[in-house]
Structure 1
């Protein structure tokens, strides 16, 4: 890759070893959240509507929520990978349909601080507690996403892939499917890997970030096969 690649990475089930939002819903929400989930899986609703309705079913305290978040295992190789991209000065962004409160707490526990934790390189929805109820808000995109996403990952990717830099996408689930269609290099596992295989999207399957670090080292300096992307103005996270 002549130009330095820009790396975009999912959070739930990718940086973490389980989906944190699913854990919160399983432990703290009314069981009807699963019915809403099936509407999303069928394509009847987008992830934004899905999460709005699901998180409204959660009842918890800050202490309970934090204890649950603190139980979430992180890929043991992620911190080393993050330090690697920092040393190589490779732009790295987390794009998540999950929630900034959760992500920052997990990343700080994992030893990752700086721009990811203060939000500069993090694009996610927001969460706060009002009493024992969870209130969510959605900033990306500022206008409705055509797919109804909570965070429009493909829209952010288009805007951040400035000056025709090649893009690398890392993910594990269906919320990543639109972004991988426009990424030059894809690392995928679980449902995302199956989606890529079904749709003929070239991907490298992975189990952990040690494998990704090794692969990215091999990619640096080599020109990738490029996917066409529309030219759009850049965007920055809050």
Structure 2
């Protein structure tokens, strides 16, 4: 999608980092965390994993949109009577951090590389879990571009999409394309794992795709089918080795992608 046909955003964006040589943009759920929090809510409090996977496969096959399927998943949680604050506490108790992310984040801090979370989840849930996992101070420094939530007077809640006119709900390419328009664009590292990252996959300089033991490697399947070059990684500790070599000039972007695996 070109920037000329960009979907209208109902939510603001943080300013882009115009003066940086490198920028890290990363999905949150199932990428920085070891389990997708929205999958957790759907599987444990909603209509369950089996129905969720049916919808995921339909998204991959182009039979439905992520926006509509994701809303259906979250509606199943609400329909079972689970309020937003209860969901937040469930996630704080059960969602864990990728084992290499703290070291990766520290490296980015010391080398002046911004880390921005680009998520199809909801900001209050991400903030709650992130603060719990890395502390309030570090969590407050990380920019989050995501969807929002609307809580109704009766206690029910639903997702407020950043790009309601887009089939992605949140078209993640729109977080990358403004960098492409800069006179001296930075090298963009993008990290993702699932169907919500399909909109960003073609636009990163170096695309890292998380390989997970649960078999839910939807972004890897998409990239393979579409012929999109990417690097498989199991955790951020392994990805750091590749990022460091690109930043230090030991690897070009093309050479990094040719590795295929971190």
- TM-score when scaled to structure 2? 0.73
What's the CA shift for 1:208? Answer: 0.5
Report the RMSD for the aligned CA atoms in angstroms: 2.6
Q: How many Å separate the matches in 2 of 1:105 and 1:15?
A: 14
State the partner residue of 1:74. 97
State the partner residue of 2:219. 192
Structure 1 pair 126–91 and aligned structure 2 pair: CA distance change class (3 A): same
State the partner residue of 2:15. none
Structure 1 pair 50–116 and aligned structure 2 pair: CA distance change class (3 A): farther
Structure 1: runs of 5+ lacking an equivalent: 227-238
SS of residue matched to 2:158: strand
Range with bigger deviation, 5-14 or 198-207 = 198-207
Could you tell me whether the CA contact under 8 Å between 1:116 and 1:122 is conserved in 2? no
Alignment of 1:149-160 (within 5 A): 149-160=168-179
State the partner residue of 1:95. 118
Range with bigger deviation, 215-224 or 202-211 = 215-224
What's the CA shift for 1:106? Answer: 1.3
Aligned length: 219
Q: How many Å separate the matches in 2 of 1:206 and 1:152?
A: 23
What's the CA shift for 1:62? Answer: 4.5
Structure 2: runs of 5+ lacking an equivalent: 1-19, 211-216, 256-262
State the partner residue of 1:54. 73
Could you tell me whether the CA contact under 8 Å between 2:60 and 2:222 is conserved in 1? no
Could you tell me whether the CA contact under 8 Å between 1:8 and 1:94 is conserved in 2? yes
What's the CA shift for 1:196? Answer: 2.3
Q: How many Å separate the matches in 1 of 2:224 and 2:57?
A: 22
Alignment deviations for residues 101-121 of structure 1 (CA, whole Å, 9 cap, x no partner): 211111111115458547x72
Q: How many Å separate the matches in 2 of 1:67 and 1:87?
A: 32
Tell whether 2:245 aligns with 1:224. Answer: no
SS of residue matched to 2:200: helix
State the partner residue of 1:7. 24
Alignment deviations for residues 152-200 of structure 1 (CA, whole Å, 9 cap, x no partner): 1112211244432121111111221231212111111232223323322
State the partner residue of 2:107. 84
SS of residue matched to 2:95: coil
State the partner residue of 1:45. 64
Could you tell me whether the CA contact under 8 Å between 1:79 and 1:112 is conserved in 2? no
Range with bigger deviation, 206-215 or 38-47 = 38-47
Select the structure with the greater relative contact order (CA < 8 A; seq sep ≥ 6): 1
Q: How many Å separate the matches in 1 of 2:222 and 2:95?
A: 26
Tell whether 2:50 aligns with 1:27. Answer: no
Structure 1 pair 108–197 and aligned structure 2 pair: CA distance change class (3 A): same
State the partner residue of 1:230. none
Structure 1 pair 197–176 and aligned structure 2 pair: CA distance change class (3 A): same
State the partner residue of 1:178. 199
